[in-house]
């Protein structure tokens, strides 16, 4: 049930900062987008030096670079358009793009619980790639290019593991109602507002 729209400021800029709970994110898209763009550029440069332009490596690297740029663009876009909440008693104002979009009661907002085993499975899967890449980057007799690629992959996987742990164990995830598209995920750091919606 939507409440009266004059209960909250229409613009997020008019609200007291202490009253505002701003959405936070992990950094998976930034990590993988940066890795794809970096690796593609590195491979393109080394192939150009060794063989000149052209070939399947250029096509494959171009696709990987485009995917990396798309992920980085999405990361920038979502971070520049964060959803925010203002909680006032039993009422919650939902702000999208800095403007009041809806007012709902606390009861309309759900809390999503991660299954611990899902986290373990993700960490195991990432570790299966990260540990060998890390070992290869340190001890295997690799070319400079392959060593750089192995180090970059190791760092990206370590970053992905850190992001997974942070988002699953140090953040709360809420399900906010949307007018036309069902529910929206909203993640907030527990250190900012512990149990604020529970």
**HEC readout, 83-105:** CEEEEECCEEEEEECCEEEEEEE
Residue 137 counted as domain residue:
yes
Q: SS3 of 182, please? A: coil
Residue 9 counted as domain residue:
no
Domain count, the chain: 1
Write down the pTM of the prediction. Answer: 0.70
The per-residue pLDDT for range 132-189, each reduced to its tens digit, is 777 776 777 777 777 777 788 888 888 888 888 888 888 888 888 887 777 888 888 8
Residue 70 has pLDDT above 90, yes or no: yes
Distance CA 169, CA 136 (A): 30
Residue 4 counted as domain residue:
no
Residue 1 counted as domain residue:
no
Residue 30 counted as domain residue:
yes
Quick one: the chain helix, strand, coil %, rounded to 5?
55, 20, 25
User: How high is the pLDDT of residue 73?
Assistant: 93
Residue 5 counted as domain residue:
no
Residue 2 counted as domain residue:
no
Whole-number average pLDDT of the chain: 80
Residue 40 counted as domain residue:
yes
Residue 55 has pLDDT above 80, yes or no: no
Full residue range of the structural domain in which residue 140 is found = 15-193
The per-residue pLDDT for range 87-106, each reduced to its tens digit, is 888 888 899 888 898 888 88
């Amino acid at each position: 049930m939507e409440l009266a729209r004059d209960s909250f400021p229409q613009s997020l800029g008019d609200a007291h900062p202490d009253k505002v709970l701003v959405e936070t994110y992990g950094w998976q898209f930034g990590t993988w987008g940066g890795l794809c763009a970096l690796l593609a550029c590195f491979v393109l440069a080394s192939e150009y030096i060794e063989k000149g332009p052209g070939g399947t490596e250029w096509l494959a690297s171009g696709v990987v670079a485009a995917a990396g740029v798309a992920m980085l663009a999405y990361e920038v876009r979502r971070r520049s358009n964060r959803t925010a909440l203002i909680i006032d008693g039993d009422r919650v104002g939902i702000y999208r793009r800095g403007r009041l979009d809806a007012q709902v009661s606390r009861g309309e907002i759900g809390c999503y619980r991660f299954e611990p085993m899902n986290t373990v499975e993700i960490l195991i899967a990432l570790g299966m790639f990260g540990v060998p890449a890390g070992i290869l980057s340190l001890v295997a007799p690799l070319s400079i290019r392959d060593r750089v690629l192995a180090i970059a992959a190791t760092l990206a996987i370590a970053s992905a593991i850190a992001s997974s742990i942070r988002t699953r164990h140090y953040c709360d995830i809420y399900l906010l109602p949307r007018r036309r598209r069902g529910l929206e995920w909203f993640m907030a750091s527990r250190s900012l507002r512990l149990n604020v919606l529970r």
